[in-house]
Every structure is written in structure tokens, then in C-alpha cells.
Amino acid sequence: MSLHPVHVPTRDEVIAATSKPIPRRLSTLALVLAGIGFLAFIIGLFVAPDRAWRAFHVNWLFWAALSSAGVMFVAVQRITTARWSRSVIRFMEGYVAFLPVAFLLLLVTLAFGTNHVFPWTHEAPPVHEKEVYFNRGFLTLRDIVSFGVITVLAIWYIYTSVRLDVGQVAESGAGWARRLRERMRRGYRDERREIHSTHSLQGKLAVWFGFAFTFGWSVLAWDLSMGLSLHFQSALYGWWFFMGGWLCALTLFALLVLAWRRFLAADHLIVEAQFHDIGKLCFAFTAFWGYLTFSQYLIIWYGNVGEETHWPRLRLIDPWTNATLAAVFMVFVLPFLGLLSKYAKMFKPTLVLFTVMSLLGMWLVRYLEVYPSLYGEIGHLPFGIWEIGVTLLYVGLWGACYIAFMNAFPRMRATLMTSPFRDEVQIPVDAETMEPLPAHE
């Protein structure tokens, strides 16, 4: 028996409620921010190239990890056959729109920014094994392949999800995606069969994407973040890194669901219980990220090996001390305490406060992964116009990609919300014969 009352809307009701056009000024604002940031980055390449490229790298780590983690969370909804998120999960599926751009930006960094970002270009690794591992060709190839596979599988997965709805609604949406929507409709069969065939395909894609995400981001975290300190290594680093992206995906999701509910006036489709669910997820993974952070710190402290202790020590001395303490309080301490109660998760101002705080704090974590390793012990904190400017570039690009996606495709999973066959997927069937599968399959 469901713990929450379930409202089953009609398809026309869902489509009518979610078809409100996004104001053009939002797209314009995103492009203006991207333009300002791009100008700042170009100027920085001539005035302070190291700062410009390092700010570029910090933001790539933040936004690329967030976006791919969002798609991974969507895939987890399929793995668990979740039903609570059907009316809101499309708001997270939009994260996928940034991944092709992120792939191109990674190529830009690897092609033109390596001398400004990566120490192995001008500093010999301390052991032969690291010389082999940080060989430029080897690193470039594995990073392109790792993030390329993540991007392809993410796009494929979201394509299958969107196709299920595009085939059921009248032609509408942004002109740039018209041919893509036409392609989605080709070969579209009856609703029941499409639901089952899509569910079956997504089950396979979700599992393979899970492997690609965890392994791929472990490699990317070692190469693009941990590897900025050639003398440091930690077996927990990959988990700690991509779970930070996972937490960001959830906290941004909470903000987007709030914004979409208000914009669409969709109180009847996005209910209070869903904010409680999202708030619980934010709280749970705040705790998990804190657990990983402390576990990594405790092992390094207890082992007391110089190759490891120098990494946290550097971040606990001037000028990095205040930034480190701020990051810990913003990502863990305050959200953990603030989201303990049920009402803090459902009361909109507190949910906004702690999710915004967590997002900003995680950006600071990415900054602290990169900058101390590259600058070491210096007199003042290197933070200013270049970091702010390049951040605006990424905020604008991400926002423009997200808005383009949400303008092009149905904004809710109308088929799985309204179809009389929507819950048949809880019992897997053969998509061709429509006969139930044995339990082991």
C-alpha cells in the first residue's frame, strides 16, 4: 500500500500543464552570461593564462560530474523501478544536454590547456610507474574514451526515455529538434508494447551506464583531479569525487523541481511528498559524502605517510584554511543539521537555503582539489575576476543547454504517468510476445 495518496492525471491534463513556453529572456540571460564568461576567459588567456585555464578546469570538473551524475540518478530510477519520481525526473534528464558540450570542452583542455593545468607537463613524476601512467598520449586517450563512453550511454539512455513520450504527443517543441522528434516517432508501435520494450532496453542500458559512470569517473578523478598532485594517491579518491557530483545533481534537482512547480503551477502533479523524498535524498547523500570525506582523512591521518599527509595539510594552512573550513560547513555540517527534520525538507525556504549552500560549497571543494595542488604554499588566496568570469561561462552554457532540452521535449513522463499499462513494468514481460518472463530473467 502506498504511503502517499496517488493522483492519476489524464494525458491531456499533463500536456496542458507542462506546455507553458519558457520565457525567452531566460535563454537570453544564459547566453549573455556565457558571453561575458567567454570574454573573461579570452582576456585571461593573455593576461593570466594559468589562472584562466585552472578556473576553466575547476568548472569543467564541477559541471561535467554534476551532469553525468544526474543521468546516473535517472538510470537508478529504472534499476529500482521507482514510481515516485515519474512526474519530476524529466527535470533531471535535461542534465544530459550539457554532456556533448562538456566533451568538447574536455578536448579543448587536453589540446590547449595541459601546460597550464597539469604538472606532469613540466615536472617529472616521482616514480617510474607514474611516468608511464601520466604519459600524455596514454592519459589523453583514456580520458577521451572514458568521458566519451559516459556521454554516449547517457545520451542513448535519455533518448529512449524521451522517445516514449514524443511518440504519444502531438508535434510541438523547439524547431531545432523537429527532425530528432520525427526520428523518434519512426517505428513507434502500440503504447503497451513500447512501454515494455523501452523498459527492457533501459534495464540493460542503466546497468552498463552504471559501470561506465563509476569506472570512468574513477579514472577521470585520478587523472584530472588527484593527479594534479604527483606525490599524492588515495584509494578512496574516485568514490569521494563522483559522489560529490552525485550530491550536486540532487541538490540542483531540488531547486529545479521547486522552480518548475512554481513556473508551471503544477501543484497537482508535483506534490509535497515528493519534496520530502528529494529532501531525504539530499540529506542521505550529504551524510554519505561526509562519511567518505572523513574516512579518507582518517586513513591518511592514521597512516601518517608523507606522500599522503601533505595533501590535506596543505589545505589546512594559510591561505587555504578558511576556504577548506567553509567548504566542510557548507557541504556537510550545515546541510546535515539543517535537513535532519521532516519539516526542513518540505518547507521551501529551508530546502532552498541548504541546497544552494551545498552547491556553492561543492564548487569550493572542486576549487580546493585543483588550486592548492598547483599553487602550493603561497601568500594569498588566488580567487578573483578570472574564477568568477569563467564560472559565469559555465553557468551560462549549462543553462542554455538545459533550456534548449526542456523547450524541445515533453517536460514530464506523460506516458508512464497516465498509461493504463504504466505499472505493468513492475512485472517484466517479453516485449515481443508480451508474456511474463521467468523470475530469473
CA angle at residue 158 from 156 to 159, to 5 degrees? 60
Could you tell me which residue, 181 or 435, shows the higher pLDDT?
181
Residue 418 lies in a domain: yes
Statement: residue 326 has pLDDT above 70: yes
pTM summary value: 0.95
Residue 431 lies in a domain: no
**CA pair distance 223, 316, nearest whole angstrom:** 23
Residue 366 lies in a domain: yes
Domain total in the chain = 1
Residue 53 in contact with residue 398, Cβ under 8 Å?
no
- 106: which 3 cell numbers? 574536455
Residue type, 10: T
pLDDT by residue (tens digit) across 222-232? 999 999 999 99
Residue type, 129: E
Residue 292 lies in a domain: yes
Residue 439 lies in a domain: no
Q: What is the pLDDT of residue 10?
A: 86
Residue 133 lies in a domain: yes
Statement: residue 186 has pLDDT above 70: yes
Q: What is the pLDDT of residue 40?
A: 98
Q: What is the pLDDT of residue 7?
A: 61
Q: What is the pLDDT of residue 421?
A: 87
Q: What integer is the mean pLDDT of 323-333?
A: 98
Residue 284 lies in a domain: yes
Q: Is 425 left (phi over 0), alpha (psi -120 to 50) or beta?
A: alpha
Q: What is the pLDDT of residue 423?
A: 85
Chain-centroid distance of CA 50 in Å reads 26
Dihedral sign, CA of 224, 225, 230, 232? negative
Q: What is the pLDDT of residue 6?
A: 59
Domain that holds residue 197: 39-426
Residue 40 in contact with residue 386, Cβ under 8 Å?
yes
**CA pair distance 159, 189, nearest whole angstrom:** 16
pLDDT by residue (tens digit) across 127-174? 999 999 999 999 999 999 999 999 999 999 999 999 999 998 889 889
With a pLDDT cut of 90, the percent of the chain lying above it is: 87
Statement: residue 375 has pLDDT above 90: yes
Residue 372 lies in a domain: yes
Reported confidence tier of residue 427, pLDDT bands at 50, 70, 90: confident
